[in-house]
Amino acid sequence: MKWFRKPSSAPLWQDEFPAFTADERYVSRRQFTKFLTLTSFGMFAGNLWILLRSMLHRAPAYPQQAVAALDEIAVGDVKIFAYPTADDPCILVRTASDSYVAYSQKCTHLSCAVYYEREQNRLECPCHQGFFSIADGSVLQGPPQRSLPRVALEHRGGQLVAIRMEGEGV
């Protein structure tokens, strides 16, 4: 079966409404080009949709939540908490006597729970051996492509308070 046929001398409407069934199988160059152009419009519409979603996106309002008391955990220890909702597990690590960091516990690869590897001072996802920096949550090694979302913390009256998430995707 031929993909294309040579341009006929018949009027256009006769090509579009052939008298013979066999002729319906043919795709003229003009029809194929129209299909490609419509596909191009579909790609453009997709980009417009992304643009629209970007413009309508509003930064979510995060609750302020006390996570732990300042001396509740020892240096090198961790505490698991949920933020900003009960379905979002996070991990708090005390990296030095006056330094705390907290990240989402969901690996950015396939959402396995990451844990703190004290000897290497990094976060590890045991499912596929993904490693994240404890300093900023960036990917050190493994299949994850994106950094761990970070929980911004503030010291308030002897308490560590989570105030927002940073680096979250859509």
Binding residues vs other proteins (CB under 8 A): 6-12, 29-30, 32-34, 36-37, 39-41, 43-44, 46-48, 50-51, 53-55, 57, 145-146, 167-170
Shortest spacing between CB 6 and other proteins, in angstroms: 7
**Distance between CA atoms of residues 140 and 56, nearest Å:** 33
Q: 51 vs 152, which CB is nearer to other proteins?
A: 51
Residue tagged 């930064």 (tokens)? 59
Residue 170's contacts (CB-CB under 8 Å, 6 or more residues apart) are 53, 57
Shortest spacing between CB 39 and other proteins, in angstroms: 6
Shortest spacing between CB 164 and other proteins, in angstroms: 13
Shortest spacing between CB 167 and other proteins, in angstroms: 7
Is residue 148 within 8 Å of residue 114, measured between CB atoms? yes
Neighbours of 117 (CB within 10 A): 14
Q: 157 vs 169, which CB is nearer to other proteins?
A: 169
Neighbours of 130 (CB within 10 A): 23
- Please provide the DSSP assignment of 9-38 as one string: SS-HHHHHS-SSGGGGG---HHHHHHHHHH
* Residue count (the chain): 170
Q: 28 vs 159, which CB is nearer to other proteins?
A: 28
Q: 22 vs 56, which CB is nearer to other proteins?
A: 56
Q: 35 vs 121, which CB is nearer to other proteins?
A: 35
Shortest spacing between CB 50 and other proteins, in angstroms: 5
